Amino acid sequence: MNRPYPLTIKMDNTQSFRFFNRGPSPVVRLVFFVVLSLLLMFVDTRYRYLESTRSVLSVLVSPIQRLATMPSILLQQAGSFFVTQQDLVNENKSLHQQHERDAAELSQQQSLQQENLHLRNLLALQQRNEFSAKFAEIIYAERDVFKRRVLINKGADANILAGQVVMDDVGIIGQITRVYPWLSEVTLITEKDHAVPVQVLRNGLRTVVFGAGDTSHLSLRYMPVSSDIQNGDELVTSGIDGVYPQGIPVARVEKIERDAAYPFARITCLPVAGVDKHRHLLILSALPKLPERPAEERAATDTGKGSKGKAKKLGAP
């Protein structure tokens, strides 16, 4: 039992020999690096100076991360190698049917579009903007319990800009929040407090849908108890924010709790798009153009431009 004690003293002696080349004591180092970390965090939350440093360091880290995605990709490829021909024939057939249905709808839509254009011309309204789409693939989901973000395989090299909208074949998935040289980060609509301006398809009621964060749910806040909303209502983007194009499906109302004790109803929605499912995504590259804001309003909001100005800038590039 006595043995450890003399041993520590002996080790302490050898340590004191090395005292010369050890530099500052651990406590000094601890304080220095804690203060440095706090400073970095402060700068990172308030300003955007560190984005270039981040993308430089990502060059160092991203090879390891790419390597880490290899096992699952190999597994998928091995799975696709052992698909039977019958499965492929069936899938091909169903895809053909889908294609024919879509083609019929598309031709209808084109004639409607023409008609709409004509009517809008007659009424001298602003034309709706068309948007083009780029394909991208999810490389990996971000490994942070707190966040709902994914990284995709297109970055600054493919002219991806922060603020562009990401969707799959059904509806909105999220928005690009950070662009690296070869990657970019997509914040999903289920991220906590991520807001998408929407309207109810049935009656045109405008509202904003928020991500719930810990689950893959969305919620509508600040809806009065008396508001006209029902289970199964579809929510589509309203397009008035200048970021999301109009009329893309976002979510479907799942559950409504109306409690007279609270001024607002608790409304839970499920995203329409496979937010947590698909690998292939579409990035909408041309953002809708909004008319310039009136001049006096700009002067009034000039002070808050650092944070709020981003949406405006993206709206009118």
Partner 1 sequence: MPHIAHANPEIQRPVSNIFIVLSVAVALFLNGLPWEGIWLMLRPDFVALVMLYWCVHKPLRIGIGLTWAVGILADVADASLFGQHALAYTLLAFGGVMLHHRLQMFDLRQQTTQVFGIFAVTYAAYVLVHWQVNGYVVWPYFLGCLTSTLLWAPLSTVLQTARQVRVSHPAKR
Q: Does 140 bind partner 1 (CB under 8 A)?
A: yes
- Which 8-state DSSP code applies to residue 205? -
Q: Does 213 bind partner 1 (CB under 8 A)?
A: yes
- In angstroms, the Cα distances linking 302 to 292, 295, 312 are 14, 11, 12
Q: Checking DSSP bridges between strand 234-237 and strand 184-188, what pairing results, if any? A: unpaired
Nearer to partner 1, 8 or 77 (CB): 8
Nearer to partner 1, 76 or 127 (CB): 76
E strand or H helix at 12, and its extent?
helix 4-17
Burial of 17 (0-12, 13-18, 19+ CB in 10 A): exposed
Question: 190 and 272 in contact (C-beta within 8 Å)?
Answer: no
Position among 2, 85, 132, 144 found at the interface with partner 1 (CB under 8 A)? 144
Nearer to partner 1, 38 or 88 (CB): 38
- Contacts of residue 272, Cβ cutoff 8 Å, sequence gap at least 6: 170, 171, 172, 234, 249, 250, 251, 252
Q: Which stretch binds partner 1 (CB under 8 A): 33-41, 98-106, 204-212, 304-312?
A: 33-41
- Rounded Cα distance between 304 and 175, Å, is 22
Q: Does 95 bind partner 1 (CB under 8 A)?
A: no
Q: What binding mask, one character per residue, do residues 158-187 give for partner 1 by CB under 8 A, x or -?
A: --------------------x------x--
Q: Which residues lie near partner 1 (CB under 8 A)?
A: 4, 7-8, 11-12, 14, 18, 22, 26-27, 29-30, 33-34, 36-41, 43-45, 50, 53-54, 57-58, 60-61, 64-65, 67-69, 71-72, 140-147, 149, 151, 178, 185, 192, 213-214
